[in-house]
Amino acid sequence: MSHQQPKPLSDLHPGDEAQVFQVLAQGRIRQRLLEMGFIRGAHLKVEKLAPLGDPMELVIKGYHLSLRREESQCILVSEED
């Protein structure tokens, strides 16, 4: 498994898997993302995009979650091949 340069979660495509590297968001959104399981090293998989292209559905900590682009671009992940 080779880890590449961290990139925003919003750049991932359906089917991609990654590990959380860092949450860049601040304040309320940061706290919420941490609580929902976006901690360093957490494994996630992008499931799909909504029919209109946003938000994104992903699986983290064994449950399904949807995030808007606004939030997903504030999360840096390292993609897993």
Partner 1 sequence: MTLTLALAGNPNCGKTTIFNALTGSHQHVGNWPGVTVERRSGFFPGPDGPVEVVDLPGTYSLSAQSEDERIAARFVADPAVDVIVNVLDASNLERNLYLTTQLLELRRPVVYALNMMDDAEKDGLKIDLPALEKLLGGPVIPTVGNREEGVQALREAILKVAKDPGSAPGGSVNYGHDLENELVKIEREIHRDEELARACPPRWLALQLLERAPAAAGPVELSHARKAITAQVQASLDFLEPHMGADGATLVAERRYGFSHGLVGEVLIRSLRTRMDLTARLDTVLTHRWLGIPIFIAIMIAVYSLTFVVGKIPQDWIAGGFNLLHAWAGDRLPPGELTSLLVDGIIPGVGAVVVFVPIIMLLMGCIAFLEDTGYMARAAFIMDRLMHLMGLHGKSFIPLIMGTGCNVPAVQATRTIEAREDRFITILVAPLMSCSARLQIYILIAGTFFRPVQAAFAILAMHFLGFALAMAMGKLLRLTLFRGANAPFVMELPPYRLPVLKSTLIHMWEKGSVFLSRAGTTILAGATLIWFLSHYPGISNRSWSEELHRQEAAVRTLNLAPAEETSRLDDLAMAHQSRVVNTSLAANIGKALQPALAPILDPDRSRPEAWKDSIALTAGFVAKEIVVSTMAVIHHTEAGDQVSDGGAGGLRAALRSRSGLTPLTALAFMVFTLIYTPCLGTVGMILKETRSLLWTGFSVVYGLGLAWLMAWFTILGGHALGFA
Nearer to partner 1, 67 or 79 (CB): 67
Q: Does 64 bind partner 1 (CB under 8 A)?
A: yes
**Binding to partner 1 by residue 3, rule CB under 8 A?**
no
Residue 21 burial by Cβ neighbours in a 10 Å radius (0-12, 13-18, 19+): buried
Query: Min. distance of Cβ 80 from partner 1 in angstroms?
Result: 18
* Upper half-sphere CA count for residue 68 (Cβ side, 13 Å): 4
In terms of CB distance, is 35 or 81 closer to partner 1? 35
